Amino acid sequence: MTEAKKTQTTKPKRGRPFKERSEDLAKQVLAAAQFGIRHEDIAHALGMCVETLNRLYSEELKKGGALANLQVAQRLYKKATEEGDTSAMIFWLKTKAGWRETSHQEIDLTTRERSLQEMSDAELVTLLNKVKK
**pTM of the predicted structure, to 2 decimals:** 0.56
| Distance from chain centroid for Cα 94 | 18
d(CA 99, CA 112): 37
Query: What is residue 8's predicted lDDT score, i.e. its pLDDT?
Result: 57
Nearest to 42 by CA among 58, 28, 56, 59: 28
SS3 48: coil
Encode 21-59 in three state secondary structure.
CCHHHHHHHHHHHHCCCCHHHHHHHHCCCHHHHHHHHHH
pLDDT in tens, 5-44: 555 566 667 776 778 899 999 999 999 999 999 999 999 9
The pLDDT assigned to 58 comes to 96
Region of residue 49 (left: phi > 0; alpha: psi -120 to 50; beta: else)? beta
Q: What is the pLDDT of residue 108?
A: 62
